Structure 1
Amino acid sequence: MSRNPTDPAVPDCTRCAHYHITYDPKFPYGCRALNFKSKRKPQLDVIEASLQPCMTFMPKPRRT
């Protein structure tokens, strides 16, 4: 059973410190913690591969 990416328990990549935008037009989204690039948000690939939400999620530091 796969987790729904819109479930509030599933971390949002855009709020993760490891998330980044790459310069590769074919794979524009990346995760530094898991060291991969993707055509879609990395959280979707993680859920598809492991059937679990990302375990390396770390919230971005708050700006002051």
Structure 2
Amino acid sequence: METVPDTVWIAACAHRLQRQWHTVDPEQLEEVARDLARDPRLRAMAPDLAAVDWLRPLNEIE
């Protein structure tokens, strides 16, 4: 898999998180995405897939 620069990965991940949480401040979503980027397992994934994986437990509740 091609290595995506951190800034691009974080922005793409935050964008995907925003699709789930429309009312959350984009800066907060970028902070969450930065935290996700620190997880080696999630960082190895494409950013949208990492966000979906991280959101999975929340989506299972609904």
TM-score (normalizing by structure 1): 0.33
- Which structure is higher in strand share? 1
Larger radius of gyration: 1
Which has a greater percent of helix? Answer: 2
Taking structure 2 as the reference length, the TM-score comes to 0.34
